[in-house]
Amino acid sequence: MAIPQEEEQIAEAQIEPAVESRNLLTVTDVERTFQVGGSPLHVLKGIRMELKERQLVMLRGRSGSGKTTLLNCLGGLDTPSKGEILFNGLPFHSMSDDQRTLVRRKHMGFIFQAFALMPLLSARENVELSLRMAGVPRSEWKDRVTECLELVGLERRMSHRPFELSGGEQQRVAIAKAIAHKPMLLLADEPTAELDTGMSAQIMAVFQNIIRTEQVTICMTTHDPTILEVADRVYEMVDGKFI
């Protein structure tokens, strides 16, 4: 039976496959050993993981299990002793420090537990600083800073300095600062550890929002079981390995 053209088009549209999200980061058999007092300390013991685009991935584990060590390797701040890390197809494990620094500046953003804002600069100036560091033309700063501070719900706090903001607000400025240069990957080490439950929930809502609007992938560490519920994927670390 002949299908009328319009129905045929609808049928075609429906069978079109959903867009598969790509691996942004692929970690294969990563080990990290430190030399402490002349003897080796094995901290990461064969990590395998994948981060797909636009995912919210969480690393959970006890203090000392190796979460920060792994996050540092993922962000190219440290290199594995063994194994491979591919970031957007680039072999992070075998690149030079300078090469990794360039990739990091352009494509990654970092958020830390203690907010890491410049105390004498306003929210607007703090976010601007990250655009200046990333080499974004000055003519683009104003609009992008406004956009980022609106995205984290701080449009009415742009002129405040960090000490004039609550902990949750400071962390939201830090998020705006970390995403201003449009990174592909955001790495956050215990971003909610210093915040109460309500403020932590706000931060997680902001993370979910920026994954949608900025198409970013987020990998974060946490101790907080209530936060894990919003993750697309949770990796549980015990003594340098995932279980």
Binding residues for ligand ATP (CB under 6 A):
34, 36, 41, 43, 61, 63-69
List the beta bridge partners of residue 90.
Answer: 87
Which option in Mg ion, ligand ATP, none does residue 3 bind, with CB closer than 5 to 8 A by kind? none
DSSP state of 20: P
d(CA 109, CA 188): 8
Q: What are the E-state strand segments in 4-125?
A: 23-36, 39-52, 56-61, 82-87, 90-91, 108-111
> At its nearest, how many Å lie between ligand ATP and the CB of residue 130?
24
> At its nearest, how many Å lie between Mg ion and the CB of residue 193?
9
Closer by beta carbon to ligand ATP, 68 or else 170:
68
The answer to whether the CB of 73 falls within 8 A of the CB of 32 is: yes
Q: Compute the CA torsion angle 166, 172, 173, 179 (nearest 10 deg).
A: 170
> At its nearest, how many Å lie between Mg ion and the CB of residue 113?
8
CA distances 162 to 126, 179, 210, Å, are 9, 18, 22
Closer by beta carbon to Mg ion, 42 or else 54:
42
> At its nearest, how many Å lie between ligand ATP and the CB of residue 59?
8
Does residue 79 interact with Mg ion by CB under 5 A?
Answer: no
Does residue 68 interact with Mg ion by CB under 5 A?
Answer: yes
Closer by beta carbon to Mg ion, 169 or else 189:
189
Residue number, nearest CB to Mg ion: 68
Which option in ligand ATP, Mg ion, none does residue 69 bind, with CB closer than 5 to 8 A by kind? ligand ATP
The answer to whether the CB of 31 falls within 8 A of the CB of 93 is: no
Q: Which stretch binds Mg ion (CB under 5 A): 52-60, 64-72, 102-110, 209-217?
A: 64-72
* Coil, strand or helix at 208: helix
φ and ψ at residue 29, rounded to 5 degrees? 50, 45
> At its nearest, how many Å lie between Mg ion and the CB of residue 68?
3
Which option in Mg ion, ligand ATP, none does residue 65 bind, with CB closer than 5 to 8 A by kind? ligand ATP
Residue ranges binding Mg ion (CB under 5 A): 68
